[in-house]
Amino acid sequence: MEYLILACDTVLSMALRSGRLLLVYGLLLLPVKAWAYRPFVSTDADVAAAGELEIELGYFNWERAEGENTYVTPQLIFNYGLTDTLELIAEFDLEHDLDGNSQLVDPALFLKAVLKPGVLQDRPGVSFAVEAGLLLPSAIKGENQTGFEAIGILSGSLERVTWHLNLGGGVDRIDGTAFGLWGLILEYPVSEDLRLVAEFNGESLRSEGAENSVLLGVVWEPSPLPDLTLDLGIRRGTSRAAADWGATLGLTFSF
């Protein structure tokens, strides 16, 4: 009986791994159009087109803080275009620790509206958008309240560099404590398919230390697969309250 149970567990484990691989390969083969909002924490001043569903899939995310490793697989963000200037955003992470425990973290619902079309909408000048919504209760102990977050977003270009500036704040899920957010994304194309990217961002809770970090990465839009964008980023904490290191790998597509 013990051998039978072990064999069943082995088969189940193999089936789950095969299912994950099939999911990834299936996503790679979908005839979709891609954008590149990943691998950033911040965002840009643009929205999905009306009637389009955009999916940001973080297939692998790793974070190391205070000597402990945490893995998030998957990290999912859904962006649905309600109109050409308004989108609905739903997001969540599935967090795992080394003991095999998993929990749903950081669920949220937002609306993003483009208030001034600009360079991201093929218009002259800076694009301006606002994103605001609810931070839903999380499975993390103590994060059982509903919070709120709102940010203003500016996107522009300077010669070959595209930049996105985020400024905002809100109240958290724990006890309604106010916090502030900021972020700056820089994107530089080195070829038709490849862009070097960087992000400087931070979050500060009132009466607590700021969590500041910097990300360096690449975004690849392979010519043989024009409907797919892949990304890789390495993050380094620059303040005591931030995680020491992090890494993210994912893709973006829509249909």
pLDDT recorded at residue 205: 86
For residue 217, what are its two tokens?
């990465």
Please measure the distance between the N-terminal and C-terminal CA atoms of the chain and give it in whole angstroms: 48
Q: What is the pTM of this model?
A: 0.84
Tell me the one-letter amino acid at 59: Y
Each residue's pLDDT expressed in tens, for the chain with a length of 255 residues: 443 333 334 333 433 443 444 344 444 344 344 445 799 999 999 999 999 998 999 988 899 988 888 888 888 999 999 999 999 999 998 888 777 778 888 999 999 999 999 999 999 999 999 999 999 999 888 899 999 999 999 999 999 999 999 999 999 999 999 999 999 999 999 999 999 999 999 999 877 789 999 999 999 998 887 778 999 999 999 998 899 999 999 999 888
Give the pLDDT confidence score for residue 30 in this predicted structure: 41
Rounded Cα distance between 188 and 102, Å, is 37
Backbone angles phi, psi at 124, to 5 degrees: -70, 150
Tell me, rounded to whole angstroms, the distance of Cα 95 from its chain centroid.
14
CA distance 237 to 22: 34
Chain-centroid distance, C-alpha 73: 12
φ/ψ of 47, rounded to 5, equals: -135, 165
Contact 57, 78 (CB under 8 A): no
Cβ 188 vs Cβ 208: under 8 Å: no
CA distance 96 to 102: 4
**Burial (CB count within 10 angstroms: exposed 0-12, middle 13-18, buried 19+), residue 215:** buried
Number of CB atoms found within 10 A of residue 74's CB: 16
Distances (CA, A) of 71 to 105, 147, 232, 234: 12, 24, 15, 14
Sign for the pseudo-dihedral over CA of 75, 194, 218, 190: negative
Q: What is the pLDDT of residue 202?
A: 96
Q: What is the pLDDT of residue 189?
A: 96
Amino acid at residue number 189: P
Separation in Å, CA 109 to CA 43, 45, 92, 137, 192: 15, 17, 9, 11, 34
